[in-house]
Amino acid sequence: MPRPIFARISRHALSHNLDAVRRRLDAARAAGGMARIWAVIKANAYGHGIERAVAGFARADGLAMLDLAEAVRCREAGWTGPILLLEGIFEAADLDVVGQYGLTTAVHHADQLALLRQARLTRSVDVFLKLNSGMNRLGFAPQAYAGAHAELAALQAAGMLGQVGHMTHFSTADTEEGVAAQLEVFRRATAGLPGPVSLCNSAASLRYPEVAGDWARPGIALYGATPFADESAASLGLAPAMALKSRLIGTQALRAGDAVGYGGMYRAEGPMRVGVVACGYADGYPRHAPTGTPVVVAGVRTRLLGRVSMDMLAVDLSPVPQAQAGAPVTLWGDEGLSVDDVAAAAGTIGYELLCAVAPRVPMHFEE
């Protein structure tokens, strides 16, 4: 019998979340917004699996990612629509793959311009020129942007490039600061320059859909987790696409003063029962999750106790006294326990937990 842990991935939830984001964008059209959606599936679709994401986001207008190999997997899985490489190319040989598979690439650095100038392309390539509007991560500085665009326009006129678009990335769309300052930088830098515009990540797509431009780039929201610290995924109409499930594989009866796990990080205040769950940090559960992190056992919400081990963790069975070995356990994504709840308790974000689920955890894809 296989070890009793698995992640359930819901195709319906992936599709539902895409539609939920699209409704936000569509509602802003009266205010001048009209955006297609690049469904961001980087990092193995935030841990959900590339092929599963291709199926779940079948109604997306395009897919966006970082890795050429993942782009090829999308084509092999039957995706025929646009694919955007968010970090662009890294060496000349990458352009052969871009051309062969009909990919669109971001251009965010002078070295990438040089690679395009020197390339011998067999077909024209669509690109999005990236502006550093204030995040100071990737992109051309505002004062260099027009010159970079002029170089791309020359390559476009020579037939090497197809569409030349514009993009940036908002760093504070999830905070009170919002997007206004970066948006103004973007508008000044791109004024008068033709081409489609791509601006909004998940947070901006949900809070500022009116500025989305031609293409939005939602990521975490598509998987049913929130980009906001002050607003839950459920309140945004999103459904968890991943549920991490396991079972109790043992129980212990503790006396007052008995310790639980490595380092004795938790000590019983009185007699109590503890359940041992087949899930640990080697499965992707955060080792730094403290006592009190929520867990659901046999449909009842309870708490983690002590330090997470490599393959196991302990839970308090006081709220669920009937639980025995074999009782079902939800670590996140079902029975009212969101991945964001667990992440908040562990001092991190839902993105990290979803991406960290280990390859040894079987994934079941359900409608």
* 245 flagged as catalytic: no
Say which of 42, 46, 208, 245 is annotated catalytic.
Answer: 42
Is residue 68 a contact partner of residue 76, using CB atoms and an 8 Å limit?
A: no
Is residue 103 a contact partner of residue 89, using CB atoms and an 8 Å limit?
A: no
Residue 98 neighbours by CB under 8 Å, 6+ apart: 68, 85, 89, 105, 125
Is residue 200 a contact partner of residue 173, using CB atoms and an 8 Å limit?
A: yes
Cα separation, 42 vs 71, in Å, equals: 10
Residue 292 neighbours by CB under 8 Å, 6+ apart: 303, 304, 345
Nearest to 246 by CA among 3, 2, 5, 1: 5
Nearest to 16 by CA among 231, 222, 233: 222
Say which of 145, 262, 281, 351 is annotated catalytic.
Answer: 262
Is residue 325 a contact partner of residue 251, using CB atoms and an 8 Å limit?
A: yes
Nearest to 186 by CA among 212, 152, 225, 221: 212
Residue 183 neighbours by CB under 8 Å, 6+ apart: 133, 170, 199, 211
* 351 flagged as catalytic: no
Nearest to 235 by CA among 338, 350, 355, 367: 338
Q: What would you report as the CA-atom Rg of the chain, rounded to the nearest whole angstrom? A: 23
CA dihedral 28, 34, 37, 38 (to 10 degrees): -120
Residue 115 neighbours by CB under 8 Å, 6+ apart: 89, 91, 92, 94, 95
Please identify every residue annotated as catalytic.
Answer: 42, 262
